[in-house]
Amino acid sequence: MKPVYIWNVTTKVTRGVHDKWLNWLKEVYIPAFMATGCFYDAMILKLMNRDEDGDPTYAVQFYAGSAADYEQFTASHYAALNAQMRTTWGTDCYSFESALQVVN
């Protein structure tokens, strides 16, 4: 099996905007990542444990088939997509990103 590279975006969302944010995630944000051509698939995961405030946390994993695809994303697309999350949702969301590689 060849290596798989994952760009993981973990986001905590306030309950007040949760439904609108989740729709935006599915209809706008994930399609924008996929339109870069750097990823071949994406998966939305919801963390089962919640913080004391009860706000939900999600992880979205984007799968790249090569280091070159991942590097192209970080060099050409990451900054704009990261800014899109911040400018659209402001303090209603807190996100952080992780780069992962599948180990066989």
Residue 2's pLDDT is: 64
pLDDT per residue as tens digits for the range 57-85: 999 999 998 889 989 999 999 999 989 99
pLDDT at residue 1 is higher than 50: no
pLDDT per residue as tens digits for the range 21-57: 999 999 999 999 999 999 999 999 999 976 777 899 9
Determine the angle formed by the axes of helices 78-89 and 67-76, rounding to 10 degrees: 50
Q: How far is CA 81 from CA 50, 52, 54, 90, in A?
A: 26, 29, 27, 14
- The pLDDT > 70 percentage for the chain reads 95
0.95 surpassed by pTM = no
Write down all domains in the chain, each with its CATH number in brackets.
5-101 (3.30.70.100)
